[in-house]
Amino acid sequence: MNDKQEEAGGTSWSELLSPSYSAAILTLCLGVALFAFNGFLVSTSLPTAVREIGGLELISWAFTLYLVLSIVGGASGALLKARVGARTALVASALVFLAGTLLAAFAGSMTEVLVGRALQGLGEGIIAAICYALIPELFPSRLVAKVFGAEAVVWAVAAFGGPLISGLLTEHLSWRAAFLVNVPLALIFIALVFLIVPRFSGEVARLSVPFLRLAAIGCGIMLVALASIMQVVAMEVLCVVGAAVVLALVIVVDRRSRTPLFPSDAFAFNSTVGIGLWIVLLMPVAQASTSVYLVMTLQDLWDYGPTKAGAFSATFAIAWSTCAIVVANIQDPRRRAWLIRLGPTLLVAGLATIVAGFSVDRPLVVMLGQIAIGTGFGVSWGFLSQSVMESARSGERDRASALLPTLQSAGYAIGAAVAGLVANAVGYPEATTPDALRDATIIVFSVSTIIGLGAFAAGFALPMKKKGVLLTALPKN
């Protein structure tokens, strides 16, 4: 395919399914599916598990430990890929994930479940990071947006199929069966890795792991997680501020390290990678409030049942996957740049629409806001991720690519903590009347809208390109 065809959007989805790329896309999508389905499977089956083996007071830690270890694992993904090769790192991390799955599935106590969930998180964090790093290696630039579109479809399928499969297995067989769904997926993934991922051609380097920085990242995310379950506003604020300080120090120290985890211009304000990573972080931070409080508010304010409220919330995933597929054929760099800017714009507009919908007591308006947010992610996320990958400095592409899913998870964790802090400060948990609940909800989503403005500003700070030439020049470090 020549350059003119690429610029005209002459690629086809059938090319992604051709013998040259079909096994590769299946491998990466399966890596995403391990993460996506696992979350929905566990959230549906775990309440039944604690009724059988006890440990209700520890149930939140099953999610907290998974999140913390997945982010730590993701932060180390690029380093592991560079030192031992993608194939070895993926197979090893898949085996860690598999061991965690089996331990949780056959657990006789909640402590064993927690250890299993921690191993699952560590393995899946590495898998997600390395799968992202492999995208620009396994696919030409013209197909990268379609890869992200395919992965968005996996997430949408998981959002609907995960709870359904887990619910049926838990109800008719056992909660353990829901955990064990991951076993064949992991085994197939390992087989595909051996088939698709090339052998490591370099010399295996001595694995010098920056344990201190990884531990600091884990502590920072743990502070975020603790903030989300604190009941005292002052302690929540202290945890969030402490987390911000710790994570900022990690970035500063990492830039001076001989074994960096992140690209050298991570979060800089004068590079495409730095600004792009701010958008990758701030969009999930702003959107997290809808994941935490929308379904609950629909049930408490408008008496929606769990199924109806869940379907209402799922419009976000539907809009994301649909739009990601629709825009994937766009190849013109200038149009892609505008779509990246459109993403945060629709995010802010969607959150503001949700605020308006609750203000006027109109569920349809709230749904339109939810759809706008999903559309914003759908039209921008693939191009944003590709922009960060392809703008990385020489030798830093793996680090930039691997950081994307890790940063997205961190964004959701931070956003959930901030939303919880605001909700507790304005009395959301204690709201006993519809008016009090509505007022608290409006404030929560208003704060999220304000956070979204940060992503909006960052989007318009990104340079625009046309035929590979910057139209808005940014100084480089």
Strand partners, 466: 469
Burial of 438 (0-12, 13-18, 19+ CB in 10 A): middle
Homologous superfamily (CATH) of 7-203 is MFS general substrate transporter like domains (1.20.1250.20)
Where helices occur in 360-475 by DSSP H, the ranges are 363-391, 397-425, 434-461
Q: Check residue 304 and give its pLDDT.
A: 84
Alpha-carbon 242 to chain mean position: 23
Question: Which neighbouring-strand residues pair with 465?
Answer: 470
* Residue 300 clears pLDDT 70, i.e. is over it: yes
Structure tokens at 265: 């211009």
Q: Which pLDDT band, with edges at 50, 70 and 90, does 460 fall under?
A: very high
User: Global pTM?
Assistant: 0.86
Q: Which SS3 state, helix, strand or coil, does residue 465 take? A: strand
CA 462 to chain centre: 21
Cβ within 8 Å of residue 390, ≥6 positions away: 136, 141, 397
Contact 367, 303 (CB under 8 A): no
- Residues with Cβ within 8 Å of residue 229, at least 6 apart in sequence: 60, 64, 420
CATH topology of domain 265-465: Growth Hormone; Chain: A; (1.20.1250)
pLDDT greater than 60 at residue 476: no
Give the model confidence (pLDDT) of 227-254 as tens digits. Answer: 867 777 888 889 889 999 999 999 999 9
Percent of the chain with pLDDT over 70: 92
Strands 465-466 and 469-470: antiparallel
Q: What is the pLDDT of residues 305-359, one digit of tens each?
A: 877 887 888 888 889 989 998 998 888 888 999 999 999 999 999 999 999 999 9
Confidence class of residue 90 from pLDDT cuts 50, 70 and 90? very high
Average pLDDT value for the chain: 86
What's the whole-number mean pLDDT along residues 119-141?
91
Q: Is pLDDT at 178 greater than 90 in this prediction?
A: no
Q: What is the pLDDT of residue 52?
A: 84
User: What sign results for the dihedral spanned by CA atoms 247, 252, 256, 262?
Assistant: positive
Under DSSP, is residue 303 helix (H, G, I), strand (E, B) or coil? coil
Contacts of 399 (CB under 8 A, 6+ apart): 78, 260, 261, 262, 263, 392
Q: What's the pLDDT band for 17 if we cut at 50, 70, 90? A: confident
Is the Cβ–Cβ distance between 262 and 254 less than 8 Å? yes
**Residue with the two structure tokens 């709870």:** 163
* pLDDT exceeds cutoff 70 at 202: no
What Å distances lie between residue 472 and 141, 267, 464, CA to CA?
22, 19, 6
pLDDT in tens, 31-55: 888 887 777 777 777 778 888 888 7
464, 471 Cβ separation under 8 angstroms: yes
Task: Report residue 450 as tokens.
Answer: 């304000």
